[in-house]
């Protein structure tokens, strides 16, 4: 599947970039947002972009090499924005974008177990290198209570306890090693009505495990906090989230900045995709964009 960037125009337009600006794309992914900045401004806006996935960096280098773009593409986590910018001798930036969704490349082509549609090793790691934790380690070694807490806390999975219990019972017989192994366990542990629901019954479990493996909520909190320090006055931060746990963190942080007089909310309610965009790209349906300006 070709990756379609979600809320592309809405996110870049709301950053209100001008020629001479420095733009930080913390989640390079399929490079859609950075490509738009480049096509809108050419080399007149400097793009500094990070991603934890080497494949994303390699692909983006090809995409951004022929358009007179002014780019620094760096293999790192956006939570390290302070180190990245300091290493480039950049003191302040004009715009920050975090798109917290996975690119279709990661979902469909990484071979690391992000999707329940393919039978792959159960890793779910953003990085190609070995991370300390992967999904296989969690489901085969962590306690039933911890697994249940992850499923409920990171995805509001209503059958978190049933699924966690089934995982622990099944792993005693045979290790859960692939995505299909895990899907089978979930399928056998949730009610028939849930299995027939509009959303695939494994969606929330996969989402929660991915967030836990990559420590995404802590990364988001750190990224927002450090990024804010580097934003110029009148600089803007735009964040696209895809589920309630992330959106809650963003909403809370932006609200706090607004309350203490450090920021101005550009949109009181989140910007959501149009019906047309959802029709063209069903993965966009849960996206929410929030934007704040530093004052």
Kindly report the CATH number assigned to the domain that includes residue 68: 3.40.50.150
Residue 270 sits in the same domain as residue 239: yes
Label residue 1 by pLDDT band (50, 70, 90): very low
Instruction: Give residue 100's domain range.
Output: 8-105+217-294
Q: Indicate whether 111 belongs to any domain.
A: no
Domain co-membership, 93 together with 26: yes
Model pLDDT for residues 172-227, shown as the tens digit of each residue: 999 999 999 999 999 999 999 999 998 999 999 999 999 999 999 999 999 999 99
Tell me the pLDDT tens digit for each residue of 46-60: 999 999 888 889 989
pLDDT (0 to 100) of residue 32: 92
Helical spans, DSSP H, in the chain: 8-15, 32-41, 54-64, 81-87, 104-109, 135-141, 144-155, 160-173, 179-187, 192-195, 203-213, 216-230, 244-259, 275-280
| Residue 137 sits in the same domain as residue 86 | no
**Same domain flag for 280 and 204:** no
Q: What is the predicted pLDDT for the residue at 205?
A: 97
pLDDT recorded at residue 149:
98
Residue 199 placed within a domain:
yes
Q: Does a structural domain hold residue 2? A: no
Q: Quick one: 34 and 13 in the same domain?
A: yes
Torsion (CA) 273, 275, 281, 284 in degrees, nearest 10 = 30
What is the overall mean pLDDT for the chain?
93
Residue 3 belongs to some domain of the structure: no
Structural domains counted in the chain: 2
Last residue of a domain, one of 167, 186, 213: 213
| CATH number (domain holding residue 157) | 1.10.150.170
Which tens digit of pLDDT belongs to each residue from 5-58? 889 999 999 999 999 999 999 999 889 999 999 999 989 999 999 998 888 899
pLDDT at 2 (0 to 100): 46
Identify whether residues 86 and 20 lie together within a single domain. Answer: yes
Higher pLDDT, 2 or 168: 168
For residues 89-105, give the mean pLDDT: 89
- Is the pLDDT confidence value at 170 over 60? yes
Q: Which residues contact 278 (CB under 8 A, 6 or more apart)?
A: 284, 285
- Are 43 and 89 members of one domain? yes
Residue 90 half-sphere exposure, CB side, CA atoms within 13 Å? Answer: 24
Q: Could you tell me the pLDDT band of residue 241, with boundaries at 50, 70 and 90?
A: very high
137, 124 in Cβ contact below 8 A? Answer: no
- Grade residue 106 by pLDDT with cuts at 50, 70 and 90: low
Q: Is there a domain that residue 116 lies in?
A: no
The predicted model scores a pTM of 0.91
Residues 136 and 101 in one domain: no
Does 69 reside within a domain?
A: yes
188 and 145 in a single domain? The answer is yes
Q: How far apart are CA 176 and CA 178, in angstroms?
A: 6
Residue 241 lies in a domain: yes
State which of 176, 193, 213 marks the end of a domain. 213
pLDDT band at 110 (very low <50, low <70, confident <90, very high): confident
Identify the domain boundary among 176, 195, 213: 213
Note the pLDDT tens digit of each residue in 128-168: 766 789 999 999 999 999 999 999 999 999 999 999 999 99
């Amino acid at each position: 599947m070709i990756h379609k960037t979600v809320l592309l125009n809405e996110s870049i337009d709301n950053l209100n970039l001008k020629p001479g600006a420095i733009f930080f794309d913390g989640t390079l992914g399929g490079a859609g947002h950075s490509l738009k900045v480049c096509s809108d401004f050419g080399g007149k806006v400097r793009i500094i972009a990070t991603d934890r996935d080497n494949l994303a960096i390699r692909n983006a280098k090809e995409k951004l090499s022929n358009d007179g773009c002014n780019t620094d593409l760096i293999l790192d986590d956006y939570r390290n924005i302070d180190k990245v910018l300091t290493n480039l001798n950049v003191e302040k930036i004009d715009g920050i974008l975090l798109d917290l969704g996975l690119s279709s490349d990661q979902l469909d082509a990484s071979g690391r177990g992000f999707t329940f549609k393919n039978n792959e090793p159960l890793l779910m790691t953003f990085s190609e290198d070995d991370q300390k934790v992967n999904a296989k380690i969690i489901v085969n070694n962590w306690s039933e209570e911890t697994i249940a807490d992850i499923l409920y806390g990171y995805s509001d999975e209503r059958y978190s306890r049933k699924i966690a219990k089934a995982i622990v019972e099944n792993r005693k017989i045979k290790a859960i090693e692939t995505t299909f192994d895990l899907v089978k366990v979930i399928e056998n542990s949730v009610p028939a009505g849930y299995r027939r629901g509009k959303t695939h019954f494994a969606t929330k479990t996969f989402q929660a495990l991915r967030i836990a493996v990559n420590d995404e909520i802590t990364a988001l909190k750190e990224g927002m906090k450090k990024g804010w320090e580097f934003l110029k006055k009148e600089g803007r931060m735009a964040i696209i989230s895809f589920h309630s746990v992330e959106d809650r963190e963003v909403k809370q942080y932006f609200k706090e900045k607004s309350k203490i007089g450090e920021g101005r909310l550009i949109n009181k309610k989140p910007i959501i995709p149009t019906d047309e965009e959802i029709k063209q790209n069903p993965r966009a349906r849960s996206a929410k964009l929030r934007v704040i300006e530093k004052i």
